[in-house]
Amino acid sequence: MRHLLYIISLLALVCSCDSGDVEEVYQIQTSGRTASLTASVSQWEPLPAGYNLSLAAYPVSGQYASSQRVLSASDVKDGRLRVVLSGIADTTNTVELSVTNVLRKRVLTLLSVDVSAYEPKDTIRIECPLTRFSHYASIQKGVFDAACIRCHGEGAQAARDLYLTENQSEAMLVDVISKSHPDIKRVASGNPEESLLHQILAEGGENILHVNHVEILHRLGVDTDLLRTFIDHWIKSLAP
């Protein structure tokens, strides 16, 4: 009898271990993955109202973040930015440092990592090479670096002597007369509509230059209307 009791209690122990395992697996599936982003910060300026700089998770070909962690000045301590996004859904394709609007829709991407490159149980650790965080720095990285500098300054030449590379772009654009259309400025401070940059990126601006810049903008794969508005906000913010 004693033996039988022993066997029964042993069985109970084995069973409870099993259910413990099941629970653990279940927890991993529901709690999701975790990503952390770190960066050394040399400039931190908040984005204009209506936009967030976010560590965000996106599903395949999705424009809306399934989850995001909005970055703020309080995440920067002693020149280091540290943020963590947990509960990342299994359907996530990329984790990005991106500008999002109030509906969590992607405006532009500053940095993107493919989640499948990481072991499922590992934290997705991202050391971000960017040091400047501002409205203009976002445009530099998410638009100029991503879509423009290959013709405007990255190689030996810059089309129309317009360098859109970091540290040069702003001085080359703001209140500088256009070389192709000398009656207008490349960017007219405070006035998007009178800026060539705005005109060549707007729908209908395809033929203003010999190169179709609207198409170049579309290739970024984001909502171009949102992106144009974000660029226009920057032009408006410049004092005339």
Check residue 108 for interaction with ligand HEC (CB under 6 A): no
Confirm or reject binding of residue 150 to ligand HEC (CB under 6 A): yes
Binding residues for ligand HEC, rule CB under 6 A, total 23
Which tokens hold the place of 119?
């072991």
C-alpha–C-alpha distance, residues 206 and 59, integer Å: 31
Contacts of 227 (CB under 8 A, 6+ apart): 107, 108, 143, 217, 220
CA 166/CA 145 separation, integer angstroms: 8
Residue type, position 227, single letter: L
Burial class of residue 220, CB neighbours in 10 A (0-12, 13-18, 19+):
middle
Radius of gyration for the alpha carbons in the chain, expressed in angstroms and rounded? 25
Nearer to ligand HEC, 125 or 219 (CB): 219
Part of the chain binding ligand HEC (CB under 6 A), chosen from 23-31, 39-47, 65-73, 174-182? 174-182
By C-beta, is 141 or 213 nearer to ligand HEC?
Answer: 213
Tell me how far apart the alpha carbons of residues 112 and 99 are, in angstroms, rounded to a whole number: 12
Query: Is residue 71 a contact residue for ligand HEC (CB under 6 A)?
Result: no
For residues 76 and 216, which CB has a smaller minimum distance to ligand HEC in the complex? Answer: 216
CB of 161 to ligand HEC, least distance (A): 7
List the structure tokens of 90: 């299994």
Q: Does 143 bind ligand HEC (CB under 6 A)?
A: yes
The rounded Cα 99 to chain-centroid distance in angstroms is: 5
Distance CA 205, CA 213 (A): 8
Nearest residue (CB) to ligand HEC, 115 versus 164: 164
Measured from the CB of residue 150, what is the shortest distance to ligand HEC in angstroms? 5
**Residues 178-217: x/- map of binding to ligand HEC (CB under 6 A)?**
xxxx----x---------xx--x--------xxx-x--xx
Residue 33 or 106 having the CB closest to ligand HEC: 106
Contact residues: ligand HEC, CB under 6 A: 143, 147-148, 150-152, 159-160, 162, 178-181, 186, 196-197, 200, 209-211, 213, 216-217
